[in-house]
Amino acid sequence: MRAMVVRRYGPPEVFECREMPDPEPAPGQALLRVRAVGINFADLLQRMGLYPGTPRPPFVPGLEVAGVFESVFGDAAREASAVGSAPPSEEVLRPGDRVVALATFSAYAERVAVPVHLAFRLPEPISFEDAAAIPVNYLTAYHSMFQMGNLQPGDRILIHGAAGGVGIAAVQLARARKLVIFGTAGPSKQEFLRQIGVDYPIDYTREDFRTVVRRVAPDGIEMVMDPIGGKSFARSCDCLGATGRLVVYGFSAAAGPGGRRSLWRSLKALAQTPWFHPLRLMRRNISVIGVNLGRMKGREGLLRRQLEEIFRLYAAGQIKPVISKVFPLEQAAEAHRYIHARQNIGKVVLTVE
């Protein structure tokens, strides 16, 4: 099979298309024929060697995939159950089933072995491309906002990177829950934010988001979703009122320009990261919530329930991934460059013919 290999940590040019043997599913794994792969910002950080837990090169990135189920190791099929209202008799994946799955790396390839309990049967109307754009973005947003954040209609939320993959998912889920939405993005994405229903779009190059939030909500808001990191975490905290929740789920500030590693930039972002003293949190009556979708081991049932709800919202027309651009698998480097240049509005997907 063909796979896109990261030869060494570095800029997008480190990708190389190689012929490799098909993966053999290990115990507890399912083998999928890949049709579409969702690109995540984490993939970019992994390629740069900036993401904790990344394998040493050479490695094949890719954390989410849609495709066709081929086989499992041994009896593991019994563990693979379907999402949705399928009766128990149908809860075993069968060869040929359309599935979406969370992978542990290796999805930029024609075939991938994934943990069988993280492979979910795909409801019929969802295309492979849409499916590959759903799990990471929508689960991250849903888990943060409703599982950890318990947001209620009328609550106010600030979403950073609101024109990015997780950001758009969060905006759509916020609209479905009737929240008041503040969203930040670069200057060229402001009109888009308005179109998707952000009540208060903020161009962070022109305005301090704290000023906008405090002008509209002098008492402070209920949640900020912050994947930027560095000094942004402290500023986001300034927007919270009593009962406010800061969700920290990324550290984009560490990524250097053009997709190159920048030790200086990473250290600067780390140095600007605030310490949250528990007594100060208590005094202000606020919470800081860390979310990491990669650390949900043993919580697969929760992910399954959340994904069921996400598919229900999709079927009801309340959410729909925005796909910025689709690249063929071999153009993974081009796709990464596109994201580094911040050209994407929404998700970037790789497809395999």
Ligand X SMILES: NC(=O)c1ccc[n+]([C@@H]2O[C@H](COP(=O)([O-])OP(=O)(O)OC[C@H]3O[C@@H](n4cnc5c(N)ncnc54)[C@H](OP(=O)(O)O)[C@@H]3O)[C@@H](O)[C@H]2O)c1
Residue ranges in contact with ligand X by CB under 6 A: 40-42, 136-137, 140, 161, 163-167, 185-186, 189, 227-228, 249-250, 252, 255, 291-293, 339-340, 342, 344
**Beta-sheet pairing, 180-185 with 287-290:** unpaired
Two structure tokens written together for 230? 């560095």
Shortest spacing between CB 85 and ligand X, in angstroms:
28
Looking at the Cβ atoms of 25 and 183, the one nearer to ligand X is 183
> Shortest gap between Cβ of 157 and ligand X (angstroms)?
15
Report the residue closest to ligand X, judged by CB. Answer: 164
120 versus 338: smaller Cβ distance to ligand X = 338
Q: Single out the residue of 148, 154, 147, 200 nearest to residue 177, CA to CA.
A: 154
Q: Closest CB to ligand X among 33 and 189?
A: 189
Question: 16 pairs with which residues across the strands?
Answer: 5
Taking the complex as a whole, the smallest distance from the CB of residue 73 to ligand X amounts, in Å, to 27
DSSP H helical ranges for 143-290:
165-176, 190-195, 209-216, 231-238, 263-271, 278-284
As measured in angstroms, the least distance from the Cβ of 142 to ligand X is 11
Q: Report the sign of the C-alpha dihedral through residues 43, 45, 48, 49, in that order.
A: negative
Minimum Å gap between C-beta 204 and ligand X is: 7
d(CA 169, CA 197): 12
Hey, how many other C-beta atoms are within 10 angstroms of the C-beta on 84? Answer: 15
Minimal distance in Å, beta carbon 167 to ligand X? 6
- What number of CA atoms fall less than 13 Å from residue 330's CA on the CB side? 6
What's the rounded Cα separation, in Å, for the pair 229 and 254?
A: 8
Choice between 188 and 211, CB closer to ligand X = 188
Nearest CB to ligand X, comparing residues 220 and 227: 227
Looking at the Cβ atoms of 34 and 291, the one nearer to ligand X is 291
